[in-house]
């Protein structure tokens, strides 16, 4: 009899199949493997760490409940980010309604700023330093329409390909590519106008 492979050695689809069969250790491996990326995605999308933490937890609750129905087609990342993205869009809609009634801000600048990586390209001799560039990027990202922000974060920060972004957003590849391109163009415009 051959010993079973430890769950950490299994791919995501195999872990989901094991979790569907009640293997708690396999599900724990999935959570440990993916929770940092899901949390980072949600913080960048929602710009409020507390909300992002709550929705990251809810994402994995939904993954666990859906495990028996997961197709196992090798597209776990897109499926996972679709769940997280749907939760994020719902939260953003609720915020707009609450903000309209209560006048509360939609973005926690510190949380969004902390979630962004240091900019790779900036003019060190120019008028802005790395921290200022990150702050401008954070505000510009927060100003994007929801679907553009999701597409940009998934593609440029989480490293998903256009096909995976399309799957995560429940749209065509052409539409996903357009959302990424329009989002990046809007970011460049906003950053360019704020730098001058």
pLDDT tens digit at each of 196 positions of the chain: 444 555 778 899 999 999 999 999 999 999 999 999 999 999 888 888 899 999 999 999 999 999 999 988 888 999 999 999 999 988 888 877 655 555 555 555 454 445 555 444 333 334 444 556 667 777 788 888 889 989 998 998 888 999 999 998 889 999 999 999 999 888 888 877 655 4
Q: What is the dihedral of CA 85, 90, 96, 98, to 10 degrees?
A: -140
Taking only the tens place, the pLDDT of each residue in 97-125 is: 655 555 555 555 454 445 555 444 333 33
Query: What does the alpha-carbon distance between residue 103 and residue 97 come to, in Å, rounded to a whole number?
Result: 10
Query: What does the alpha-carbon distance between residue 88 and residue 95 come to, in Å, rounded to a whole number?
Result: 10
pTM above 0.85, yes or no: no
Cβ 128 vs Cβ 66: under 8 Å: no
Question: Where do the domains of the chain lie, and which CATH numbers do they carry?
Answer: 7-195 (1.10.1740.10)
What is the CB neighbour count within 10 angstroms for residue 71? 10
């Amino acid at each position: 009899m051959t010993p079973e492979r430890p769950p950490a050695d299994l791919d995501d689809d195999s872990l989901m199949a094991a979790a569907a069969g009640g293997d708690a250790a396999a599900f724990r491996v999935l959570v440990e493997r993916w929770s940092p990326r899901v949390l980072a995605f949600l913080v960048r999308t929602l710009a409020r760490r507390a909300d992002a933490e709550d929705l990251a937890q809810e994402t994995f609750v939904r993954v666990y409940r859906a495990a028996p129905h997961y197709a196992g087609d090798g597209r776990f990342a897109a499926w996972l980010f679709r769940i997280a993205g749907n939760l994020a869009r719902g939260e953003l809609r609720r915020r707009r309604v609450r903000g309209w009634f209560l006048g509360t801000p939609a973005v926690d600048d510190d949380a969004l700023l902390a979630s962004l990586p240091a900019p790779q390209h900036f003019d060190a001799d120019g008028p802005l330093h790395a921290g200022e560039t990150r702050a401008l990027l954070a505000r510009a990202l927060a100003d994007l329409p929801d679907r553009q922000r999701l597409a940009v974060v998934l593609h440029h920060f989480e490293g998903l390909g256009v096909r995976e972004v399309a799957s995560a957003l429940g749209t065509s590849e052409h539409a996903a590519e357009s959302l990424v391109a329009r989002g990046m163009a809007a970011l460049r415009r906003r950053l360019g106008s704020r730098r001058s």
